[in-house]
Amino acid sequence: MAVQLPLDFAERMKRLLGDEFESFIQSYEQSPHAGLRVNTLKISMEQFKEIAPFDLRPIPWCETGFYVPHGVKPGLHPYYHAGLYYIQEPSAMAPVEQLNVQPGDRVLDLCAAPGGKSTQIAAKLQGKGVLVTNDIHSERTKALAKNVELYGVRNAVVLNESPERIADAFPHYFDKVLIDAPCSGEGMFRKDEDMVKSWEHHSVEKCVLMQRDILETAARLLAPGGTIVYSTCTFAPEENEAMIAEFLKLNRDFAVVNIADTAGFAPGRPDWVREMLPDQATETEEVLDQTRGTARLWPHLLEGEGHYVAVIKHSDESNLELDKELHEEKRGAGQRVPESRLLHEPSEDRSFLRSASLPITKADRKKERLLRVESRASNDKSTRGGKHTAKPGKKGKEAGGRKSDRGQGRASDSSSVDPLAVYAQFVNENLVIPLEGETVCYGDRVYQSTVGAARLEGLKVIRPGWFMGTVKNGRFVPSHPLACALRASEAHRSVHLSSEDGEAVRYLKGETLNIEQERLNLLEGAAPKGYVLVCVDGYAAGWGKWLDGVLKNEYPAGWRWTSV
């Protein structure tokens, strides 16, 4: 057998699976299945199929997912760096498909790192609505934020918080909540042998305690009539059917939504709860049978790893009193905006300036005072191409209205530089996009946020919104995440590099390129000099600065192509 399974685990599965056990064990002699999911924020399915550099085979339970042949390395292609697809284990694509996200929804991915399911949710939102993506482990939020940025997500907020604190800030706010719960990881034994080694220490009992708390908190986060998808990558019934039955018993306004018998999904096993946990089964008997409508993904029944998925929906008959003031998110340029903690200040080389474990100093607080202005599309139309710009704040004032002896552009800049005015000027001269939501500044960094600053008060914020760039020395420097989320038609200047002749790889490695002016795509009236959106086969990958036939490379050092 290719994988040495823990003896206790193998004996338990033999008792539970009976005649299916031999097929189950034989699946561990096979290689794990590799998959990718097309990022429809940047490319349509039809377009991707036309240019796909690999042989693709559809994944039955995910319309944007494909198996890739064994040995193929999709991470070693320029399209990966352009964010055209996410490399993801096939079974892991199932939970978001069952969440039934629609454009305009408010969605929370509660245990999100490294971000695969968040990017899947974002693609379904198509830039409309709100995505709040969170992980409680500060180190893991770095990968989460990077993936959200690479895949061009404009409407996400990234948090590093406990579920309880999020529920205090967002009571009954979300239409959909995804819980990819921390679990014992039994379903990943074939894919990751480290999970085998840690299984005995990462006990089922410890996971159950965490899962119970997370589910209860999710109920406080959900709007009336909303949906929770709960998923694990374990076979243990204590963490799956028993957990859902216990939740249903305590929350009578929820019920399981049956998952269709699709693509080899097997039904839930309430009989296992009765066999293994008879006392709990007796307590939850009246709701336990509902868990048959949940789904188990078995490695011997489909091409993927072990997963469990439950869809539970809240009744829309509720007397919940929503926080109307926060729900409506009243905004105004004159409203005082409270301070929030931006734990990891984004930098283009991906080196975060402060660890979450370090104390926040008075100087940090001063630098991170939050400024806000209204930037809704209906209020501030530009005279150029329907673009919208942010309204500048009052010069010489800090967030609380206190007079400052410095400008708002940089913490160390003694001149009166208004970062919002500098930002608005850059947008007018370089982009053709609406600035939706609020323009939010942390020090000299500028974001567009679709949530509203009031809700982020006191939370550990990794990204309050779409990171647009930084004000330096009185000028606006656009960010890499801004470039990643743009289309070529939204930039005044763009250049197209081919993935086939090596030029794109040279750019991704950080090299300066010689680009004749004739190759630049310029909107009418745009001068060739300045920031250029660099595209790989037509899809945005980053920035360059063009002058006199030379394209200076602005691709961040920490993101560069490092393979041979």
**233 is an active site residue:** yes
Distance from C-alpha of 7 to C-alpha of 200, rounded to nearest angstrom? 11
Paired tokens of 20: 């299916």
Distance from C-alpha of 112 to C-alpha of 140, rounded to nearest angstrom? 9
Distance from C-alpha of 367 to C-alpha of 470, rounded to nearest angstrom? 14
What spatial distance separates the first Cα and last Cα of the chain, rounded to whole Å?
34
Q: In what order do the strands lie in the sheet with 475-478?
A: 370-374, 438-442, 445-449, 466-472, 475-478
Residues 6+ apart with CB under 8 A from 518: none
Distances in whole angstroms, Cα of residue 60 to Cα of each of 1, 93, 97, 116, 303: 28, 10, 11, 18, 10
Q: What region does 458 belong to: left with phi over 0, alpha with psi -120 to 50, or beta?
A: left
Amino acid at 404: S
Tell the burial category of 297 from Cβ atoms under 10 Å away from its Cβ (0-12, 13-18, 19+).
buried
Identified catalytic residue from 62, 183, 207, 233: 233
CB 495 within 8 A of CB 521: yes
CB 239 within 8 A of CB 189: no
Tell the burial category of 328 from Cβ atoms under 10 Å away from its Cβ (0-12, 13-18, 19+).
exposed
The residues annotated as belonging to the active site are 233
